[in-house]
Amino acid sequence: MRLIGWAIALAAAGLTPAAAAQSNAAAPAQSAPTAAAPAATTATPPAGTAQEPNKPDAAQPAIVPGSVGHMIPTAGVGEPDGRKGVQLQVTPIGKEAASFHNDWLLPLCAAISILVLVLMLIAIIRFRRGANPTPSRNSHNTTIEVIWTLVPVLVLVAIAIPSIRLLRHQYSPPPADLTVKVTGHQWYWSYELPDYGVSFDSYILKEANDPTRQANQRARTDNDGPPLLAVDNRLVIPQGKVVKFIITADDVIHSFAMPAFWIKQDANPGQLHETWAKVDRAGVYFGQCSELCGARHGFMPIAIEVVPQAQFAQWVGQNGGHMPGSKPAAAPATASANATPAAAQPTGATPATQPATNQAATAQN
Ligand SMILES: [Cu+2]
């Protein structure tokens, strides 16, 4: 009895802080402005208002539509276009998954639905009271019972085999050619290519008539992409290469989703998640944060541009980075629009540290 008493006391003590925390959490919610204020002050840059607060427009070179990093999107590719079903898939996994969905699951679902509908119609019409006044008193039929047990089992096996095969392909990626670290923030994404010395932030491009757009912020044009999906700095990756994405977050849970690559991976603070893509088709692809992450969750799109290897090298150079094995860029002054001051700094660091970084990068490749 004494033991039980202690157990209850301990449990109560354990529960109390949780209950207190809950009531604390509930309290600020009643006064919305108080709750919003700390969030606004902790978010740097200020919640969704600045694209590159440290860099005035005047310092950015003019954007040439169609150049690397500014490829003009193709309608209906890598963006929603009102079609039913999944987007055009551009990775091997995406193609396998879309084919599994379109050519196997959908026909199977349709066949089962039609079968059930026909059986229901037969039961309703043929066995209605008017047509069948004295109902059968049979309570079971062994043949039918065997059929209605075996057929669903076979249907499940027919779904499970390709489904498990797809999962196996998805979770056994080929060796990576390139690693990209993706970090979700409230409310923007940042990207880092550690082996190339490139890192930058990527913000939504606001509409020209958006009252929250600051005077020095570039407005979206159709060359950038659809509204709510276009970003100021796109991630550029090489065509036909295996890209490993290491995904995390620095505040709350986000989700890195790129429908045309068949990627959707949670970005959790304090955890590294991994996914991959091998994109064979050059182009611009758009995705969105897919985990409700706060007030501007709907305003942190993802844009990935897939380009041939030579253009990728050009983009790396423009952003103050260097191809593994080659000499790093001379000075941050050569960094283009995409390079943030944070990205430019390591390149401008003392030359003594550079060869070591370079060797490490080469060794990893
Ligand atoms: Cu998010």
- Ligand 1 centre to CA of 269 (Å) is 12
- Ligand 1 centre to CA of 212 (Å) is 19
In this structure, what DSSP letter does residue 204 have?
B
**226 pLDDT tier (thresholds 50, 70, 90):** very high
Q: What angle do CA 160, 166, 170 make, to 5 degrees?
A: 140
Total domains present in the chain: 2
Across 114-118, 148-152, 188-192, 329-333, least confident range:
329-333
Residues 359 and 284 in one domain: yes
Instruction: Please compute the mean of the pLDDT values over residues 65-69 and round it to a whole number.
Output: 84
- Ligand 1 centre to CA of 255 (Å) is 6
Instruction: Please compute the mean of the pLDDT values over residues 315-325 and round it to a whole number.
Output: 88
User: What is the tens place of the pLDDT at every residue in 82-107?
Assistant: 888 899 999 999 999 999 999 999 99
Residues 222 and 163 in one domain: no
Domain assignment of residue 302, yes or no: yes
In angstroms, the CA 64 to CA 74 distance is 17
pLDDT for the residue 251: 92
Domain assignment of residue 87, yes or no: no
Which residues are within 8 A (CB) of 245 and not within 5 positions of it... i.e. 6 or more apart?
Answer: 180, 181, 182, 256, 263, 265, 274, 275, 276, 277
pLDDT for the residue 214: 84
**328 pLDDT tier (thresholds 50, 70, 90):** low
Q: Is 346 or 276 the better-scoring residue by pLDDT? A: 276
Residues 304 and 228 in one domain: yes
Domain assignment of residue 341, yes or no: yes
Residues 286 and 269 in one domain: yes
**360 pLDDT tier (thresholds 50, 70, 90):** very low
- Ligand 1 centre to CA of 300 (Å) is 6
Domain assignment of residue 272, yes or no: yes
- pTM over the 0.75 mark: no
pLDDT for the residue 36: 38
In angstroms, the CA 197 to CA 361 distance is 9
- Ligand 1 centre to CA of 112 (Å) is 38
Residues 201 and 150 in one domain: no
Residues 303 and 273 in one domain: yes
- Ligand 1 centre to CA of 160 (Å) is 32
Residues 238 and 323 in one domain: yes
- Among 27-41, 276-290, 343-357, the range with the most confident prediction by mean pLDDT is 276-290
**What average pLDDT does the chain have?**
79
Using DSSP, state whether 126 is helix, strand or coil. Answer: helix
- Ligand 1 centre to CA of 265 (Å) is 12
Nearest CA to 60 out of 303, 335, 348 is that of 335
Instruction: Please compute the mean of the pLDDT values over residues 337-345 and round it to a whole number.
Output: 41
Strand partners, 190: 183, 201
Whether residue 261 contacts residue 254, with contact meaning beta carbons closer than 8 Å, is answered with: no
Domain assignment of residue 75, yes or no: no
pLDDT for the residue 3: 46
- Ligand 1 centre to CA of 189 (Å) is 8
- Ligand 1 centre to CA of 116 (Å) is 41
pLDDT for the residue 327: 63
- Ligand 1 centre to CA of 231 (Å) is 14
Residues 165 and 296 in one domain: no
User: What is the tens place of the pLDDT at every residue in 26-46?
Assistant: 333 333 333 333 333 333 444
Domain assignment of residue 55, yes or no: no
Domain assignment of residue 242, yes or no: yes
**17 pLDDT tier (thresholds 50, 70, 90):** very low
What's the order of all strands across the beta sheet hosting 273-278? 198-202, 188-193, 178-185, 242-249, 273-278
Residues 105 and 165 in one domain: yes
- Ligand 1 centre to CA of 127 (Å) is 55
- Ligand 1 centre to CA of 299 (Å) is 8
In angstroms, the CA 42 to CA 250 distance is 12
In angstroms, the CA 113 to CA 15 distance is 48
The CA–CA distances, whole Å, from 226 to 60, 74, 241, 270, 356 equal: 23, 11, 26, 32, 42
| In the chain, % of residues over pLDDT 90 | 56
Instruction: Please compute the mean of the pLDDT values over residues 141-165 and round it to a whole number.
Output: 95
**138 pLDDT tier (thresholds 50, 70, 90):** confident
- Ligand 1 centre to CA of 294 (Å) is 7
In angstroms, the CA 284 to CA 287 distance is 10
Give the structural domain span for 219.
178-364
pLDDT for the residue 60: 59
Q: What is the CATH number of the domain that holds 217?
A: 2.60.40.420
Residues 214 and 117 in one domain: no
Residues 155 and 228 in one domain: no
Domain assignment of residue 10, yes or no: no
Residues 192 and 164 in one domain: no
- Ligand 1 centre to CA of 15 (Å) is 31
